[in-house]
Amino acid sequence: MQRAQRKLEHIKYALQLGDGPADTHFADLRFIHNCLPELNPADIDLSAEILGKRLRLPFFIDAITGGTDAVTEINRKLAQVAERCGMGMAVGSQYGAVRDCVSFGSYTVVREEHPHGLVLGNLSALATPEQAQAAVAMLQADALELHLNAAQELWMAEGDKDYAGLLANMVRIREALGVPVIAKETGCGIAEAQYAELLASGFTYFDCAGAGGTNFPAIETARQGNTLSADFAAWGLPTVWTLLDGCEALPSDAFLLASGGVRSGGDIAKAFALGADAVGITGPILRKVVEEGVDAAVAYVEDLAEDLKNYMLLLGCRAPRDLRKVPLVISGATRNYLDCRGYNLQAICQSRRV
Ligand SMILES: Cc1cc2nc3c(=O)[nH]c(=O)nc-3n(C[C@H](O)[C@H](O)[C@H](O)COP(=O)(O)O)c2cc1C
């Protein structure tokens, strides 16, 4: 299968299949209303300094595409959305481009449209340090995401299935680069033990990409005309659970991008409450751009930001980081999860990553 064809099929099936069937479990969390917020909405400030750049909104369009000229216009439009909203953007995997020296323009269009913005490169964690340097140079990237996608590759007929030496390779890449390296999942989440292993190896930037949103094993199976079994279709750590594992494993100054099925102002507020430094919203922004265009995608993002502000007002929070200290009620399967993992429910309900 040609790489270019695969890139187009990923977009086609991501849009066709939508989210799930795994649940993000955001619905298991409830905020406690503050009837004395003592706050003027004009004082709520969503802006944040992230990876050396000031963002108006602490949101990312996470990695989607690149690598064939057929997707240049999609990346141009996504970058226009990022530029107009003052948010970050990651490009899709640059692996094929740096390996075969093809279709750089499908990526560099992002830097052209978002010249001073926060732009992240993206590569397989199996890439070489030289490929990583080329990926960063191609975009003058502010950081590089190394994607972890064993579940996707497993269901991809032409996928890489040998992960021996993966962490050591990631360390080699990090040591060869002058920009931060983000350990990124792709829809199955990062568990406490792997956060801890990555931290012990010197990684301090993470994108949890939990289950409940875009589902890559399902996309790869659909590309082959098949349907995934129910168990594997729901595989992975739901986004709320991988964020809770982040609360357990990560120091408060580690960087955590929350992604995977983040779909509403409430989801965003809850992700910040669970310790996120920024959120990634990918499938829905891709859909808006492809089906309705840049203006509709910008309006969608601005609506999310307004909704987030509404939550913050009702909780008395001036900045997203303040949400880490608001009390939460945790019920349902997420409460069972905390129990099974031996996490301190009372402590987590009071504050997280502070
Ligand atoms: C069409 C498509 C292509 C993607 N390609 C990549 C990729 O090349 N590298 C990567 O790290 N993640 C890739 N992702 C995963 C996203 O970056 C993100 O982690 C995932 O979609 C979860 O976010 P969502 O539920 O908001 O869509 C892709 C997602 C989509 C929808």
Find the 213 Cα to ligand 1 centroid distance in Å: 9
Which residues are bridge partners to 184 per DSSP?
147, 207
pLDDT at position 4: 87
Domain count, the chain: 1
* pLDDT tens, residue order, the chain (354 aa): 588 899 999 999 999 999 999 999 999 999 999 999 999 999 999 999 999 999 999 999 999 999 999 999 999 999 999 999 999 999 999 999 999 999 999 999 999 999 999 999 999 999 999 999 999 999 999 999 999 999 999 998 888 888 999 999 999 999 999 999 999 999 999 999 999 999 999 999 999 999 999 999 999 999 999 999 999 999 999 999 999 999 999 999 999 999 999 999 999 999 999 999 999 999 999 999 999 999 999 999 999 999 999 999 999 999 999 999 999 999 999 999 999 999 999 999 999 999
**Count of other CB atoms within 10 angstroms of residue 170:** 22
Pocket test of ligand 1: the residue of 15, 64, 107, 123 to mutate, having most ligand atoms within 8 Å of its CB, is: 64
**pLDDT attached to residue 160:** 82
Closest residue by Cα to atom 18, ligand 1, is: 186
Query: Is 12 buried (19+), middle (13-18) or exposed (0-12) by CB count in 10 A?
Result: middle
322 within 8 A of 38, measured Cβ to Cβ: no
Q: How far is the CA of 349 from the centre of ligand 1 (A)?
A: 30
CA of 62 from ligand 1 middle (Å) equals: 6
Structure tokens at 161: 């299935």
- Most informative mutation of 214, 287, 301 for ligand 1 (most atoms within 8 A of CB): 214
Pocket of ligand 1 (CB under 6 A): 10-11, 14, 62-65, 92-93, 122, 145, 147, 184, 186-187, 209, 213-214, 259-262, 280-283, 286
Length of the chain (residues): 354
List the CATH number of the domain containing 266: 3.20.20.70
Q: Could you give the CA distance from residue 67 to residue 65 in angstroms, rounded to a whole number?
A: 7
Distance 280 CA to ligand 1 centre (A): 10
Q: Which segments within the chain are labelled E, that is strand?
A: 29-31, 48-50, 53-55, 59-61, 88-90, 119-124, 143-148, 181-185, 205-207, 255-259, 278-280, 328-330
Distance CA 92, CA 14 (A): 14
* Nearest atom of ligand 1 to the alpha carbon of 92: 8
User: Which residues, 6+ apart, have CB-to-CB distance to 69 below 8 Å?
Assistant: 103, 105, 106
Torsion sign across C-alpha atoms 135, 141, 142, 147: negative
For residue 272, what pLDDT is reported? Answer: 98
Expressed in angstroms, the distance from the first to the final Cα of the chain is 47
- Four-CA torsion 186, 188, 189, 193, nearest 10 degrees: -120
64 alpha carbon – ligand 1 mean position (Å): 5
Q: Which of 48, 56, 152 is nearest to 95 (CA)?
A: 152
Looking at residue 3, its pLDDT comes to: 83
| Per-residue pLDDT at 97 | 94
| Angle ∠(349,271,201) on CA atoms, nearest 5 | 95
Long-range contacts of 175-180 (CB under 8 A, 24+ apart): 175/129, 176/129, 176/130, 176/132, 176/133, 177/129, 177/132, 177/133, 177/136, 177/144, 178/136, 179/136, 179/141, 179/142, 179/143, 179/144, 180/51, 180/142, 180/143, 180/144, 180/204, 180/205, 180/255
Alpha carbon of 151 to ligand 1 centroid (Å):
13
Spell out where 226-351 has E strands: 255-259, 278-280, 328-330
d(CA 115, CA 109): 10
Residue 98 has what DSSP assignment? H
Q: Sign (positive/negative) of CA torsion 334, 339, 340, 343?
A: positive
Measure 311 CA to ligand 1 centroid, in angstroms.
Answer: 27
Pairing of strands 48-50, 53-55: antiparallel
Which numbered atom of ligand 1 lies nearest the CA of 212?
Answer: 25
Atom 5 of ligand 1: nearest residue by CA position:
64
Instruction: Write the residue with the smallest CA distance to atom 17 of ligand 1.
Output: 63
pLDDT recorded at residue 159:
85
What's the 41 CA to ligand 1 centre distance in angstroms? 33
> Which residue is closest in CA terms to ligand 1's atom 29?
64
Give distance in angstroms: CA of 188 to centre of ligand 1.
Answer: 11
The angle, 0 to 180 degrees and rounded to 10, between the axes of the packed helices 72-85 and 283-291 is: 110
| CB of 146 closer than 8 Å to CB of 170 | yes
Q: Provide the pLDDT for residue 251.
A: 98
At residue 27, the pLDDT reads 98
Residue 51 lies in domain: 3-350
Cis peptide upstream of residue 217 (ω within 30 degrees of 0): no
pTM above 0.75, yes or no: yes
Cα-based angle 312, 298, 214 (whole degrees, multiple of 5)? 80
Pocket test for ligand 1, best of 186, 219, 242 (most atoms within 8 A of CB): 186
What spacing in Å lies between the alpha carbon of 212 and ligand 1's midpoint?
A: 12
Closest Cα to atom 16, ligand 1: which residue? 63
pLDDT for residue 170: 98
Would you state the pLDDT for residue 158? 83
